[in-house]
Amino acid sequence: MSYDLAELAAFAPYIWWKTTEEALEFPDRLIAQVMNRGTYADVCRLLELVGEGTLLHVLQNAEIGQFTERSWAYWHYRLTDIPLGKVPPMPERKYHD
């Protein structure tokens, strides 16, 4: 996962509630936000910048609420070889007894 963190600054507006500097402190969160909410053009730019391996890492380590069901399914079909209808469950909060 080697990419220029400064190049991700162009995507910082996807984390609109943080400054650019704050958004760049958590690049996986920023990448997930672009994967979930990004325009087609921005997603293509992101893919070119960070590569499929990074996107897969972000998907596999996603936190609760980072993806909609639609995006979750899309990215699993796009980045993995799972069979149709076998999308893994989305991240969920676990409560301990």
* pLDDT tens per residue, range 62-77: 999 999 999 999 999 9
Q: What confidence category does residue 57 fall into, taking pLDDT thresholds of 50, 70 and 90?
A: very high
Q: What confidence category does residue 93 fall into, taking pLDDT thresholds of 50, 70 and 90?
A: confident
21 vs 86: CA distance, rounded Å: 38
26 vs 69: CA distance, rounded Å: 22
Mean pLDDT of the chain: 95
pLDDT of residue 94: 81
For the chain, what are the domain ranges?
22-88
Q: Give percent of the chain with pLDDT exceeding 90.
A: 90
Residues whose CB is less than 8 angstroms from the CB of residue 80 and which lie 6 or more positions away in sequence, other chains included: 56
Mean pLDDT value across residues 14-36: 98
pLDDT of residue 76: 98
Token readout for 46 is 């992101």
- Per residue, the 3-state secondary structure of the chain, as one string, reads CCCCHHHHHHHHHHCCCCCHHHHHCCHHHHHHHHHHHCCHHHHHHHHHHHHHHHHHHHHHCCCCCCCCHHHHHHHHHHHCCCCCCCCCCCCCCCCCC
